[in-house]
Amino acid sequence: MFIGRRPDGTIYGSWTVRQKDDEFHPGLEEVEDNDPELLEFLIPKPVIIDPIDELRSALKVDPTLLDKLIAVR
């Protein structure tokens, strides 16, 4: 596989055949098909949303919310 890298080192694309060397494909390099960086680029990890992020944000806006919580029995 061939990958293209940006100047900061991140991968911007991958190809099975080498692309022509031009301004649109700088930093091409050949890597193995099972290269960990290539696999991470091809199969990105899903973003897992923390279920209490909304609560954290609300508490930052109004810290008295904790006083308003009622325990459910």
> What pLDDT score was predicted for residue 71?
63
> What pLDDT score was predicted for residue 36?
94
Residue 13 has pLDDT above 70, yes or no: yes
Distances (CA, A) of 64 to 6, 53, 54, 55: 47, 17, 15, 12
Closest CA to 29 of 19, 42, 39: 19
Domain ranges of the chain: 2-68
pLDDT digits (tens, 9 = 90+) for 15-38: 999 998 888 887 799 999 999 999
